[in-house]
Amino acid sequence: MTQKNDQTAHIEPVRLSIKSSFSFKCHPGVSCFTECCRGANIILTPHDVIRLKNRLELPSDEFLAIYTEPHLLEKTDLPVITLKHLDDDRDSCPFVRDDGCILYDDRPTACRYYPLGVASLQHREGADDDGFFFFINEPHCKGFEEECQWTVEDWRQDQGVDLRDEANAEWTDLVVHKRSFPPNIKLTEKAKQMFFMVSYNIDNFRSFVFDSTFLQRMPVDEATLENLKTDDVALFKFGVRWLKSILFNPRKPEETTGNDAQ
Ligand code: SF4
Ligand code: SF4
């Protein structure tokens, strides 16, 4: 998933594999403590939004309105969201305080990966779309001067991103798949709205599933249905499978995509 920092931030183009090793440690004693929580553009994954809105006890639409900004993801034309900065002189994250992150246990995936980035959503001209890792190489980050050895694999496990990546896996596949579409194949506005709702506005998607004719068109067994009523992550995964069926259904492309060439 995309990481901290603006798309224009300089990023060391060193490709890391899961077995690559590096030295890094972040702790309250470093001179740069919380520097990385200021002036960063943090793209949120769907799983991040679920964790954050539940932590803050907000409906997903309120969380989106208060804390996020929408964008279009380069090369995909798909909507993504970033955490909104505070209106202070350092563009601080709304959740940072002098003694650290107030929702550390539920911090976004990008914050957990840092100082690593993941290529899957951080597309750049000329890069391939396979998942790989790289350093977000910010001069202010002193964590690289600490003596603590990691492999990328160990870091992911330590930070809990392996589990989060698993929860987002089918969604990430869908985004990467969309990127491989020819540029003249575009999603309709309605398709983009559906993508946004499933990805980020899970409470609205629940209403859409249960308060419309959705279940008449897409029957679900009783046990699954009960689960979808209360489990946001299960509902999100269900939604992604539905999105795949409507966005990339080769039999009905005209219903969900517009083709400039037609
Ligand atoms: S969510 Fe927490 S860890 Fe991430 S930038 Fe904000 S304060 Fe820092
Ligand atoms: S800049 Fe680097 S070392 Fe400093 S707080 Fe952030 S991650 Fe830790």
Mind listing the pLDDT tens digit of every residue in the chain (262 residues)?
334 444 334 554 578 889 999 999 999 999 999 999 999 999 999 999 999 999 999 999 999 999 999 998 877 788 999 999 999 999 999 999 999 999 999 999 999 999 998 876 554 444 444 568 888 878 899 999 999 999 999 999 999 998 899 999 999 988 888 877 777 677 888 999 999 999 999 999 999 999 999 999 888 999 999 999 999 999 999 999 999 988 876 554 444 444 333 2
Cβ proximity of 51 and 163 under 8 Å: no
> Would you state the pLDDT for residue 207?
98
The ligand placed nearest to the CA atom of residue 104 is 1
Cβ proximity of 43 and 82 under 8 Å: yes
Closest atom, ligand 1, to C-alpha of 110: 4
> Would you state the pLDDT for residue 175?
87
One-letter amino acid at 235 equals: L
Closest atom, ligand 2, to C-alpha of 31: 4
At 239, list the tokens: 């939604």
> Would you state the pLDDT for residue 154?
95
Distance of alpha carbon 98 from alpha carbon 250, whole angstroms = 52
The ligand placed nearest to the CA atom of residue 108 is 1
Residue nearest to atom 8 of ligand 1 (CA): 37
The rounded Cα 146 to chain-centroid distance in angstroms is 28
Closest atom, ligand 2, to C-alpha of 34: 5
When computed from its CA atoms, the radius of gyration of the chain, rounded to whole angstroms, is: 19
Distance of alpha carbon 201 from alpha carbon 36, whole angstroms = 27
> Would you state the pLDDT for residue 254?
41
* CA diameter of the chain: 60
Peptide bond connecting 115 to the previous residue in cis, omega within 30 degrees of 0 = yes
> Would you state the pLDDT for residue 131?
62
Return the percent helix, strand and coil in the chain, to nearest 5.
45, 15, 40
> Would you state the pLDDT for residue 247?
81
Distance of alpha carbon 67 from alpha carbon 108, whole angstroms = 13
With H, G, I as helix, E, B as strand and everything else as coil, classify residue 222.
helix
Cβ proximity of 109 and 161 under 8 Å: yes
Q: How far is the CA of 12 from the centre of ligand 1 (A)?
A: 22
Q: Which of 77, 71, 72, 262 is nearest to 183 (CA)?
A: 77
Q: How far is the CA of 82 from the centre of ligand 1 (A)?
A: 12
With H, G, I as helix, E, B as strand and everything else as coil, classify residue 81.
strand
Which distant-in-sequence residues (6+ apart) come within 8 Å of 140 by Cβ? 32, 35, 36
> Would you state the pLDDT for residue 180?
76
> Would you state the pLDDT for residue 121?
56
Q: List b or e across 123-135, with b for residues whose CB sees 16 or more CB atoms inside 10 angstroms.
A: beeeeeeeebbbb
